[in-house]
Amino acid sequence: MCVTNVKYKKPTQNEARRMKNLLSYLTYRDSRDDYVPQVSGVERWVDHGMGKSVTQIANTCEGYQSDHVLLFSLVVNPNPDLIRMVPHEEREAFVKQLTERTVEGFFDARGIDTGVEYSYVTHHRNTDGEESPNQHDPHTHVVLPGTYYDADEGRRKPLYFSRNREVNHIDLLHDITQEQMAELMDRYAGRDWEQRYDELATIREQQEQIAIIEEAHGMWGGDPVWAGIRRTDENTSAAGFYGWFEDREGRLKLQFRPLMPGLEHSEAERAAEYMKERLQADAKNIQRDEELRPTIDF
């Protein structure tokens, strides 16, 4: 439903340089390839105690570092399929509220009553996955210091993200994120969003069955493929083909490759039927050519 990743940088000279490079990257880009021009008077960073510029945040990190941590960074990334249920003009507000409620709820659950300073920036990249590329994928990058202020002891103490048998802060963070995500989806997408998402998943499962119940429609790059459609959301589908391709872990998996995205459902069905006819015709032509090819007897 939502991914939250945690990383940190150590308080070394090299890591301090990398931290500043990271902050600059987060400030001036939405992705590896998308540069964001800065507008005078418009700050990208939302400041909750760490600062609102690269210099301010870097100085705060150096001033609040622990013996082992210079900076913690989090990524709060809602599922793009769910984000598509949120009106486009409300998605940035959705992701910002999700970030603030997650971070503050997480430290409340840990009993850190004074909270922890943080700043975050919102990015608006598009997905680069092969099954559903170019889908709006808003997310935030959050930076935290290596220490927090303990009011009872009147001093700053090291901040930890522990993961052991006694306490698992990573699981707690994920749980808090999912809770906040569900509450915000109720508000922004309607209380029936889970039912709608389940229906989307069911339709996709049914659509990929074409590669199970039918013989391959043709070949693509030497591999068998099936023309078909994949539901993108409640209003649009993509036409393309299914096949067994390697995933990011190198395992063969039945996947979809879109050729014509953003179609109405009926348009996608017609396009897929045309692709099927072309694939089957090409397969017959290849078979006929092989049968007519002369053989040489030695």
**What is the Cα–Cα distance from 9 to 145, expressed in whole angstroms?**
10
Chosen domain end from 133, 165, 191: 191
- Is the Cβ–Cβ distance between 162 and 61 less than 8 Å? no
- CATH code of 70's domain: 3.30.930
213 and 76 assigned to the same domain: no
pLDDT reported for residue 41: 44
Give yes or no for residue 185 having a pLDDT over 70: yes
Contacts of 170 (CB under 8 A, 6+ apart): 6, 161, 163
> What mean pLDDT do residues 191-206 have?
97
Give yes or no for residue 8 having a pLDDT over 80: yes
Residue 50 sits in which domain range?
2-191
114 domain residue, yes or no = yes
Question: 294 falls in which pLDDT band (50, 70, 90)?
Answer: low
**What is the Cα–Cα distance from 33 to 51, expressed in whole angstroms?**
26
202 and 108 assigned to the same domain: no
- Is the Cβ–Cβ distance between 148 and 127 less than 8 Å? no
**What is the Cα–Cα distance from 267 to 137, expressed in whole angstroms?**
25
179 and 209 assigned to the same domain: no
159 domain residue, yes or no = yes
Structural domains in the chain (count): 2
267 domain residue, yes or no = yes
Give yes or no for residue 96 having a pLDDT over 80: yes
297 domain residue, yes or no = no
178 and 217 assigned to the same domain: no
176 and 212 assigned to the same domain: no
| pTM for the whole structure | 0.87
- Is the Cβ–Cβ distance between 238 and 230 less than 8 Å? yes
281 domain residue, yes or no = yes
pLDDT reported for residue 240: 97
| Residue 152, Cβ density class (10 Å: 0-12 exposed, 13-18 middle, ≥19 buried) | exposed
